[in-house]
Structure 1
Amino acid sequence: MALQLDNDEGARLLPYEEFWRDHYVWLQSRGYGLRPRYNPEWIPSWRGNKKLWFICEDGREFPFRQIIDATRTSDGTMVALKKLSKRDHPYEVEIIQFLTSEPLASDPKNHCVPLYEVLQVPDEEDLVILVMPFARRFNNPRFDTFGEAISCFQQIFEGIQFMHTNLVAHRDCNGMNIMMDPRAMYPNSFHPADIGLSYDYNHHAKYFTRTQRPPKYYLIDFGISRRYQPGDDPSMEPIIVGGDDSPPEFTPANMQRTNYKCNPFHTDIYYLGNMIREDFIQSSKGFDFMQPLVTDMMLEDPTQRPTIDEVVVRFGSVRKSLSSWKLRSRVIKNDDIAFFGFFRTIAHWWRRISFILRRVPAVPLP
Structure 2
Amino acid sequence: MGEELWWTKHRDWLATCGYTLRPRYQADWTPSFTPDQDQDDFEDGVSIYKPVLDATRIVNGVEQFVILKRVPPRDGKEEVETFELLTSEPLASDPRNHTSPLLEVLQVPDEPEHRLLVMPLLRLHDDPKFETFGEAIAFFTQIFEGIQFMHEHHIAHRDCTHHNIMLDPTGMYSTPFHPIEQHMRRDWKGKAKPRRTRTQLRPRYLFIDFGLSRAYSPTDGDPPMDLPVRGGDKTVPEHVNYDEPCDPFAVDVYYLGNLIRTHFMMKYHGFSFMQPLVQDMVARDPSKRPKMNEVVARFKTIRQSVSCWKLRSRMVSRKEWRIVGFARSFGHWSRRLGYIVTRQSAIPDV
Please say whether Structure 1 and Structure 2 have the same fold, judged by a TM-score greater than 0.5: yes
Q: 1:160 to 1:39 in 2, by over 3 A?
A: same
For 2:205 and 2:251, locate their aligned partners in 1 and report how far apart those are by CA, in whole Å. 21
Which AA in structure 2 matches 1:85? P
C-alpha displacement of 1:158: 0.7
1:271 is aligned to 255
1:58 aligns with 2:6: no
State the match for 1:333 in structure 2. Answer: 317
TM-score (norm 1): 0.91
Alignment of 1:67-82 (within 5 A): 67-74=52-59, 75-82=62-69
User: Does residue 318 of structure 1 match 2:318?
Assistant: no
Q: With structure 2 as the length reference, what TM-score do the two structures score? A: 0.95
Structure 2 distance, partners of 1:88, 1:101, is: 20
- The superposition leaves residues 142-196 of structure 1 with CA deviations (integer Å, 9 ceiling, x where unpaired) of 1000000000000000100110011101111111111111112224221112111
Choose 323-332 or 15-24, whichever is displaced more: 15-24
Equivalent pair of 1:167/1:230 in contact (CA under 8 Å): yes
Residue identity in the other structure for 2:53: I
Q: Secondary structure at the match of 1:359?
A: coil
- Match for residue 124 of structure 1 among 105, 108, 111: 111
2:78 matched residue in structure 1: 91
* Counterpart selection for 2:143 from 153, 156, 172: 156
**Which residue is 1:245 aligned to?**
234
> How much has 1:132 moved relative to structure 2?
0.5
CA contact (8 A) 1:184 1:214 kept: no
Q: Which moved more, 1:210-219 or 1:340-349?
A: 340-349
Contact 1:115-1:132 within 8 A present in 2 as well: yes
In structure 1, the partner of 2:217 is 229
Residue type of the partner of 1:68? Answer: L
Q: Pick from 174, 178, 196 the counterpart of residue 191 of structure 1.
A: 178
1:110 is matched with 97
**Structure 2: segments with no counterpart, 5+ residues:** none
d(CA) in 2 for partners of 1:87, 1:126: 9
Q: Give the drift of 1:271.
A: 0.5
Distance in 2, matches of 1:51 and 1:241, equals 39
Letter of the aligned partner of 1:244 in structure 2? Answer: D
Provide Cα deviations, 1:34-65, integer angstroms capped at 9, x if missing partner: 110111221112369x9763322111124x50
- Percent identical pairs in the alignment equals 48
- Contact residue 235 and residue 264 of structure 1 kept, 8 A: yes
Match of 1:6 in 2: none
Runs of 4+ residues deviating >6 angstroms: none
Aligned AA for 2:198? Answer: R
**DSSP 3-state at the match of 1:71:** strand
Counterpart in the other structure of 2:189: 202
Name which of structure 1's ranges 123-132 and 39-48 shifts more when overlaid on structure 2: 39-48
Q: Secondary structure of the equivalent of 1:241?
A: coil
Cα offset for 1:206?
2.1
**Matched-pair contact (CA < 8 Å) for 2:216–2:224:** no
Structure 1, 112-121 or 243-252: larger mean CA deviation:
243-252
State the alpha-carbon separation in 2 of the partners of residues 123 and 57 from structure 1.
30
Task: Count the aligned residue pairs.
Answer: 346
Indicate whether 1:292 and 2:308 are aligned: no
Aligned-residue offset at 1:23: 1.1
Give distance in 2, aligned partners of 1:151 and 1:338.
27
Q: State the alpha-carbon separation in 2 of the partners of residues 128 and 41 from structure 1.
A: 27
Give the Cα–Cα distance (whole angstroms) in 2 for the partners of residues 344 and 291 of structure 1: 26
For structure 1, the residue ranges without an aligned partner over 5 or more in a row are: 1-13
RMSD over equivalenced CA pairs, Å = 1.7
1:129, 1:228 → 2: CA distance? 24
